[in-house]
Amino acid sequence: MLVEEIMKKDVITLEPHHTIKQALELLNKYHIRHIPIVNEHHSVVGIISDRDIRDAAPSTLEKNQNQETLNHQVSSIMTSPVITVHPLDFIEEIASIFYEHEIACVPVTKDNQIVGIVTEKDLLYTLIQLTGIHEQSSQIEIKVPNKVGMLPEITQIIGERKINISSVFIYPYDQDRTQKIIVLRIQTMNPMPLIDQLKNRGYEVLWPNIPGLSP
């Protein structure tokens, strides 16, 4: 899946000369947590978060605190330079960027102009959709040898039972790198006959591990 499929295109932005007060008003009005800062060419030159603004703004508990801070320009608190992504990047790449740089938002740029924004909430929602967990389905986990052809063997068995597959994930088995785990979400609320058939054919089903099914 590409970034352009999940990004928000209506991006609220400010320019460096705008004030912290104006930024605070936008956060409250649109219920957002990040505002990209752009120049007159709509190129991203910085970004501010709700935390940046909270740290800079006077406390609501201190009425006598210097309110002049709110009139400072956002350029004084923005983060720059900014990590950006392209609309044709893959969402897996964004997940890696969020993790490695410990950020929660990336502006999307094309031809050096802002065209969208993606937040960690957008990414998490998309990943949930990709897992198929929002559909009526069942999850099974199968440990198999880490060799070519194992996934087609498993999917062939599922196909024999006329069951649709919502999603497939594969990851290494931590205790033995010669093995891997295939995680499938299948569109059936009764996976027992399939689990029984997998075990009869010699596959080790880790989840659900139902006592009494064929070994």
Question: What is the predicted pLDDT for the residue at 215?
Answer: 47
pLDDT in tens, the chain (215 residues): 999 999 999 999 999 999 999 999 999 999 999 999 999 999 999 999 999 988 887 665 455 555 688 899 999 999 999 999 999 999 999 999 999 999 999 999 999 999 999 999 999 999 888 887 777 889 999 999 999 999 999 999 999 999 999 999 999 999 999 999 999 999 999 999 999 999 999 999 999 875 554 44
pLDDT for 84 equals 97
Instruction: Output the pLDDT for position 41.
Output: 95
- The pLDDT of residue 63 is 55
Strand partners, 47: 36, 79
The residues facing 109 across adjacent strands are 114
Q: Which of 131, 209, 204, 128 is nearest to 169 (CA)?
A: 131
**174: exposed, middle or buried (Cβ count in 10 Å: 0-12, 13-18, 19+):** exposed
- For the chain, the domains span 3-128, 134-207
**pLDDT score for 135:** 78
Query: How confident is the model at residue 62, as a pLDDT?
Result: 55
* pLDDT number for residue 59: 62
Does the predicted TM-score (pTM) go above 0.85? no
Closest CA to 47 of 34, 59, 33: 34
CATH of domain 3-128: 3.10.580.10
For residue 157, count CB atoms less than 10 angstroms from its CB and return exposed for 0-12, middle for 13-18, buried for 19 or more. middle
For residues 9 and 116, the answer to whether their CB atoms sit within 8 Å is: yes
Could you give the CA distance from residue 77 to residue 143 in angstroms, rounded to a whole number? Answer: 50
pLDDT at 213: 47
Multiple choice CATH, 134-207, 3.10.25.10, 3.90.245.10, 3.20.20.105, 3.30.70.260: 3.30.70.260
